[in-house]
Chains A and B, each alone.
Chain A
Amino acid sequence: MTLPRLIFVTGKGGTGKSTVSAALATALATRRPTTLADLDGRQAAIRLIGVEASAAGAAWKDSHGENSTQNDHALDVVTITPHGELETFIERIVPLRAVSRRMLQSRTFGYVTAALPGLEAFLMLERMRQIAGHAALKDRFAVIDAPATGHALELLAVAKGIRKLAPTGTLNRLSSAVEEFLIDRNRFGVMLTVTPEELALREALEAAGELRDRLGIECIGAVLNCVPPALYTAAEIARLRPLEAHARLADRRHELAEFARHARRELERAEIAVAELPILYAATLAAREVEALSRRLATEMFTP
């Protein structure tokens, strides 16, 4: 798998985007310095790798990571928020800090930004472009714990819309640059998360199609998450019938394992590379478990 500088992780709600993002960033960090970022300020992935939320609370101020937090030498985390990005953008346009500050504080401005469709979303894309550019320069990777598929597709489609709205000027130039970034396979790629469930599989396949056909964006692969290690043969399952409750539990596991095989076939048929992660039968899901998943992911992704 040739990896782009920035990997955007999305999938249906509940398929483990944050866990996979955390594991992926941890795995990449063993090869190159890596940045893990989220877009909603919830810091779910960041908390999973055991970084104090408050330390990463501030928005990224510039592409050199002024406000980013060092976890260890190889992995740092940032939070990209719509408001933070808008602030940065306005400060760039209105260089008088006193004026721009007051602007941002006045409710007046909030109303108008609400009327500029997609501006904040666009600025977040622009921030990702900067992070990827920085990563290319310094030979790093970046992983984005993105929103669920529907919102993610809307977000990625925003650059096109903005370019149409702004025929000239700063935003027009920026939007062309963002569009080029999104279709550049060296800098940007989408990783889908899927669990062995019908709806999750369907959403992933549809998203891959939309990304390719409508936006020209490459899906670098899918992580098939929460796959139960096979335990029973079909013959054994049949033998367990009389045990009722235990048989149902065995069935559940067997069906999930079977569906995971089906999902893998379907994804591969759609020419999507698949990396598999096991379901963790553990009472907690924290840094130690993410570490284990990251090792597994590294084996799946980097072993030829």
Chain B
Amino acid sequence: MKRALELGDRRLLICLGPGGVGKTTLSAALALNAAIGGRAVDVMTVDPAPRLLDALGLTAGDSTIQTVALTGLGAARGARLRALKLDPKATFDLLIERHAPSVSARDAILANRIYRNLSSALAGVADYMAMEQLLELHRDTSTGLVVLDTPPAREALDFLDAPRRMLELLGSRAVTLLSAGRSVLRGGFSMLDLAARAVLTAFDRLTGLHLLGDVQAFVGSFDGMYAGFADRAAQAQALIRDERTLVVLVTTAEAERVDQAIEFIEALTKLGLKLGAVAVNRMMAPLPDEAAIGRADLPAALKRKLKRNLDDFAALERREAAALKRLRASIPAGTRLIAAPDLGREPRTLKDLAELARSLYVADS
């Protein structure tokens, strides 16, 4: 039987989607399946549930890469699976250490008030760091395929857009404005820039944040590193658009999640990104035949219960079908719709994950 998701010679698989749809689980399942098929696979998870951590041999506090034992799963020769849990703060620190022109520059950044908050609180840093980690993994030539689970996005494109936003902050014009001397201000800056400068200064003083000095120092300390960051961001953007990258949008067939999935599709299209597949997780299994109830040798009361249960589930199936119909209408031509049936429980073991991946089916029509 042809596999629902043909990976071919893809080197990167990115799973995107709204929160609470089983993105992490499905990423792990797809990675495991590819590994069993004989490829060297790395999977990066963002926020795995404890049981999935266990299954992958990871521990909550540890963000080092771990090799997953594939014994007893019938893995082909050359099979390898490594799993990694993303730690945005540690990744960012590492990045600073690598790119900082000097020890003192490095220490200045790590101690900066903005950096300390930025690396944990600012939305988008986790996304950006996931992208960084991805470049790292992808660079390793012993790895055939990298599977990336992304942080649950507030906005559809938070993740894919993260490198650009980070660059904007670092190349911030506002900061240039504030640190510019009078002579510079005479030329090259518009009236609006000057107004902005005045307002920002007032804003800082009035709010009592006194942060702009720190922002300046922070961005200033990136001076020798900007090129390195810009280069990494460009690499990340190129990698996302590479022919051997497959973007999979994960959702469920619940109405609200389908709405969000459709927003994702629109945003991706706007960004000119090709969507490889849409995967609908936790689809209801086909309902059994009603006639079987009539034939069964059971008391009438119990048969009535069976009939009622069947009717109840049929109503849910209709709701699911309606949501799926809306989703289908929004999928661009050439993008495959695949589905994973609801296994009725959270996957607890590697066997469960492998079963989930094998149960994927094509749901185009």
Contacts and interface: CB of A to CB of B under 8 A. Distances in A.
* A-B CB proximity, top 5 nearest: A169-B208, A13-B20, A245-B288, A14-B20, A13-B19
Interface in B271-292: 285, 287-289, 292
B292 A246 contact: yes
User: Could you say which of A117, A166, A248, A252 has the most chain B C-beta atoms within 10 Å of its C-beta?
Assistant: A117
B296 interface: yes
Contacts of B195: 99, 102-103
Contacts of A90: 203
Given A116-B209, A170-B206, A281 B313 contact: yes
B359 to A, nearest CB: 15
Interface residues of B, number: 72
A54 interface: no
Contact of B287 (A14, A115, A244, A249): A249
A151 B293 CA distance: 47
A234 interface: no
B206 A281 contact: no
Nearest to A19: B256
B152 A13 contact: yes
A44 B259 CA distance: 9
Interface of B: 18-21, 47, 49-50, 113-114, 117-118, 121-122, 152, 154, 165, 168-169, 172-175, 177, 192-193, 195-196, 199-200, 202-203, 205-212, 215, 218, 252, 254-257, 259-260, 285, 287-289, 292-293, 296, 298, 302, 305-306, 308-313, 315-316, 318-319, 322, 344, 346
B259 A283 contact: no
Mostly, the B contact residues are helix
A231 B49 contact: no
Given A13-B21, A202-B49, A245-B292, 6 more contacts: A93-B203, A114-B165, A117-B114, A147-B154, A231-B305, A246-B310
A115 B200 CA distance: 12
A115 to B, nearest CB: 5
Nearest to B171: A111
A158 B120 CA distance: 12
A225 to B, nearest CB: 13
Contacts of A168: 208
Interface string A153-187: 01000100100011111111000000000000000
A90 B207 CA distance: 10
B266 to A, nearest CB: 14
Contacts of B316: 281, 283
